[in-house]
Structure 1
Amino acid sequence: MLEIKTIKEEKYSILQLEGEVDASNSVELDSSIQQLLEAGETGILVDASSLEYISSAGLGVFMSYLEDFHEKNIKMVIFGLKEKVYQVFVILGLDKLMNIKNTKEEALEEI
């Protein structure tokens, strides 16, 4: 099960992910990101501190936006990954393609 909350701050939005992202609900994550893009958001923080698991489908959602983010100068920073979830990003080399920080404070420095 996945719960996504969107919190609008002054200069950025936070996507809070809680639970698991897998093939059955990755479309919800995709939809949440798409809504932020349609709203013209240029800074997105992904709070993954309550994310317990992410499948290749969930990772694929993030990957599918990397080029768009680059072209539109949108900054997305993921923070708070639990070690076992972070290791999935590392194994696939996604830690080199995505901006991943330990804390919200570190993530805010990138926005």
Structure 2
Amino acid sequence: MLKIEFTKVNDHFILSLSGEIDASNSVDLDAAIQEILEQGAKKILVDGTQLEYISSAGLGVFMSYLEEFQEKEIQIIIFGLLEKVHQVFIILGLDKLISIKNTQEEALEAMA
């Protein structure tokens, strides 16, 4: 099961993910990101502290937005990933494409 919440804090959005992202619910993640973008987000923090699992479909959602983020100069930083979830990003090389930090404080500091 996946739970998605997002809040706007100052000049950035925090997208909180809890549970598991797989092929059956990755469309919900896609819809949440789309909604944040429609609200004019330029800085997105993804809170992964409660994310227990992400499948390739879930990772595909993030990958599908990378070009748009770059074109529109939207900054995205993921923080707080469990080690096993972080490993999936590393194995697929996504840690080279998306900034991943250990804590929300580090993510905020990294945000330009």
Q: TM-score range by the shorter chain?
A: over 0.9
Deviation by residue 1:11-44 (Cα, 9 ceiling, x = unmatched): 1010000000000000000000000111111000
Q: How far off its partner does 1:5 sit?
A: 0.6
| Residue 14, structure 1, aligned to residue 36, structure 2 | no
- Runs (4+) of structure 1 exceeding 6 A deviation are none
TM-score by length of 2: 0.97
Q: How far off its partner does 1:7 sit?
A: 1.1
Q: How far off its partner does 1:109 sit?
A: 1.5
| Residue 88, structure 1, aligned to residue 82, structure 2 | no
Q: List runs of 5+ in structure 2 lacking aligned partners.
A: none
What's the secondary structure of 1:41's corresponding residue? coil
Which letter does structure 1 place at the counterpart of 2:37? L
TM-score by length of 1: 0.98
Q: Distance in 2 between matches of 1:64 and 1:91?
A: 18
Matched residue, 1:57: 57
Superposed CA RMSD in Å reads 0.6
The count of corresponding residues between Structure 1 and Structure 2 is: 111
Q: List runs of 5+ in structure 1 lacking aligned partners.
A: none
What's the secondary structure of 1:109's corresponding residue? helix
Give the share of equivalent positions with the same residue, in percent: 66
